[in-house]
Structure 1
Amino acid sequence: MIAFGTYDAARHPRVAVLIAGLRAHGIKVTELNRPLGLSTAERVRMLQQPWRLPVLAGRLLRRWAGLVADGVRQRRAEGAPGAVLVGYLGHFDVLLARLLYPRSVVVLDHLVFAGDTGADRGAAGLRVRLLAGLDRLAVSCADVVVTDTEEHRRMLPDPDRGVTVLVGAADAWRVAPSRAEPVAELPAVPPSGPLLGPPEAAGLSVVFFGLYTPLQGAPVIAEAVRDAVAAGASLRVTMVGSGQELPRAREILARTPGVTWRDWVEPDELPGLVAGHDVCLGIFSDTPKGVRVVPNKVYQGLAAGCVVITSDTPPQRRAVGENVELVPVADPGALADRLVTLCDPAALATAQVRAARGRGRIRPQAVTEPLAAELRRRDVR
């Protein structure tokens, strides 16, 4: 099997989880990868602004030329692969994969629906219809379409070709044992520095990281933090990232003490930063997309040993409901109350035990079992 495309596993770790999980199941995976070097936001912006498309097309064609050459060498050395996994954000790459490997099982990791994402970020009308058409074209080229939730699988034109694989978290996020595990197993505390978690001090340490898109509900988080502090909670909050709703969040928290803002943290440094906090925040909006997804940060926060608070939606309840703290969607009062509760050491310790029990369920081998089973059914080894 080959993992194919212009994916960037450092920026978008989903494909790394799939590859690691399939390898753990005994499936040989060879990577043919030429990263495009664009973030999700940049790709969506190009699709929303047609005058930017020549830049995307030129870069994509250069990467594709390299992939074709890599594919020729791989085929000469090993023959045609039994299956081709097209990595996340592979709406265009799957077209090339289908042309290069007409007799292989093409697996598309369709974590993001372009039309859905465009609508969530403010696109409308013709743009959304074009993006939705791109979704339909991409999934039509695949034999197996991997989605992250049942809600997304049911959005496919042919849901029977879909396989639901939880996003999970790469083992790189397991930077420290869960706080619920024996203290003797904890590693030595690293020296303090600008990218470590907050220094040890009184109060509950909380982290949020993301692109501040509407589905994440950053204003809900900001209102909850403001109200929890006003109610007497001792919080140390780190807010990481930038995007559409960042100005509103900063405005809400302008007079709230204990909040640190970071515009960017390198992907390989982010697990250590998150692991330095007691609580990791998920998503809280009631947008259509917000109630259909389980975001990366929920799995990553669990893997890093944090207590995770996120919204009580059907996919999140199914995936991690027993191991996270669920609050009603778009309800800053409920989130504020949960933060206040977790300031109590006994309540925090109980939540940490629940979180620790879920860490094994989100490892790559565990989450990729449905895909591995489908590949075995198709005699891909």
Structure 2
Amino acid sequence: MAAHPRVGVIAEGLRRAGHEVRECNAPLGFDTAARVKMLAQPWRVPALGTRLARCWARLAWRSVRGPRPDVVVVGYLGHFDVLLARVLFGRRRVVLDHLIGAADTGRDRQVGHGVRQPLLRAVDAAALSSARVVVVDTEEHRETLPAKHREHAVVVPVGAPDEWFAPEPAPAESPLRVVFYGLFTPLQGAATIGSAIARLTDRPIRFTMIGSGQDKQQALDYAGSAETVTWHDWIASADLPALVAAHDVCLGIFGTGPKALRVVPNKVYQGAAAGCAIVTSDTPPQRRAFGDAARYVAPGDPAALAAALAALAENPDELAKLKHASSTAAREKFTPAHVVEPLLAKLTELGFGR
């Protein structure tokens, strides 16, 4: 769950609601980047099939050993596992967290040519048809589902794991400390951040950039020789909450693609939970989630991002208010217990949990 905190948030939320949660996990060993690479290099697909068969055998064995569950929640990236869950438990009991669509991810990772997109859409369609309830993260994401699946869909915000609420937020001070972490995909708009860094070298602002991925080199190129930024390939998951909490501002996403305009990324929820002020792109789902508890800039606009950060660096009182507002929003709406409420209501509607 360190690699995919969304799964842990839903599990913990269900526990907080008084439900018994049993975890059944057989790691595939391929992260999202590796799976996308297989799409670009189809000769690698047999390796996926072999590992998947082994994992399914372990999952099936573990699943039948305990009591029969009332509901089976298949975590995101479970496009294939949901097929197994349907066979083992029947469609009525299956909940699929469709946080990431296969076709959507392929487009975001620039795998959108030839027969690959139709194949990815077929994978999505099979997964959606295998579940009685489909969980998505925003209303905009729900609207992208085929019409026949929308009535079975429920919006559950990504939220933040409990450990992100634990660190003591750092007091606002100069220089302004800004952090970004992620996989440097087009959705995240890392090049926009790099360009903003280059515009702020003469301001009392220090950046910490964490992660690696397809757009990192472009972000490095755009930032140029700025000495106000520290780059990390990654930070251990257990250390990340405290490191983020030691900053004043957590950056969200700034991509301009369709997917970037309909998501609220986990780093926004997590950064707010850690007590940071949030600066992110001005999109309907992010405004709906955080309202006045964040600062918004036009997607893909480095000048606007630089101006927003410069304004916070120059106004410590405003920065302190924004940090408090984001933290309050996270604690009031985006803890595990809060985010699962729509899912619990949907399950009750279907006759579970009564």
TM-score greater than 0.5 by the shorter chain: yes
Letter in 2 for 1:359: A
1:51 paired residue number: 43
Check conservation: 2:174, 2:313, Cα contact below 8 A.
Answer: no
Q: 1:178: how far off?
A: 4.2
Q: In the aligned structure 2, how far is the partner of 1:237 from the partner of 1:66?
A: 44
How do 1:195-206 and structure 2 match up within 5 A? 202-206=174-178
The alignment partner of 1:18 has SS state of: helix
Which structure's residues are more often helix, by fraction?
Answer: 2
Deviation track 1:163-192 (CA, whole Å, cap 9, x = no partner) reads: 000000001111324458xxxxxxxxxxxx
Report what 2:158 is aligned to.
167
Find 1:355's aligned residue among 326, 344, 352. 326
- Aligned partner letter, 2:132: D
| SS in structure 2 of the partner of residue 343 of structure 1 | helix
Correspondence 1:228 to 2:219: no
The one-character-per-residue Cα deviations of 1:119-143 (angstroms, maximum 9, x if unpaired) are 1111123211211111011000000
Structure 2 gap segments, 5+ residues each: none
Unaligned runs of 5+ in 1: 1-8, 181-199
Q: How does 1:185-204 map to 2 (within 5 A)?
A: 202-204=174-176
Query: Displacement, 1:271?
Result: 1.1
Corresponding letter in the other structure for 1:173: W
- Matched residues in 2 for 1:378 and 1:20: separation? 21
- Tell me the equivalent position of 1:6: none
Q: Report if the CA contact (8 A) 1:84-1:104 is conserved.
A: no
Contact 1:179–1:352, Cα closer than 8 Å, also in 2:
no
Question: Percent identity between the aligned chains?
Answer: 50
Q: Say how many residue pairs are matched.
A: 348
Q: How does 1:40-189 map to 2 (within 5 A)?
A: 40-74=32-66, 78=67, 80-102=68-90, 104-125=92-113, 126-157=115-146, 158-178=149-169
Letter paired with 1:106: V
Partner of 1:3: none
The alignment yields a C-alpha RMSD, in angstroms, of 1.6
Closer, same or farther: CA 251–103 of 1 in aligned 2, 3 Å = closer
Moved over 3 A (4+): 177-180
**1:214 paired residue number:** 186
Map of 2:248 onto structure 1? 278
Amino acid at match of 1:62: R
Residues 347, 201 of structure 1: alpha-carbon distance in 2 compared, 3 angstrom cutoff = closer
Find the aligned partners of 2:90 and 2:324 in 1 and give their Cα distance.
Answer: 49
Deviation at 1:201, TM superposition (A): 8.2
In structure 2, C-alpha distance between the alignment counterparts of 1:106 and 1:324, rounded to whole Å:
36
**CA distance in 1 between partners of 2:117 and 2:211 (Å):** 26
| 1:39 corresponds to | 31
Q: Structure 1, residues 41-75: CA drift from partner, whole Å, max 9, x if none?
A: 1122223432111111111111111111111211x
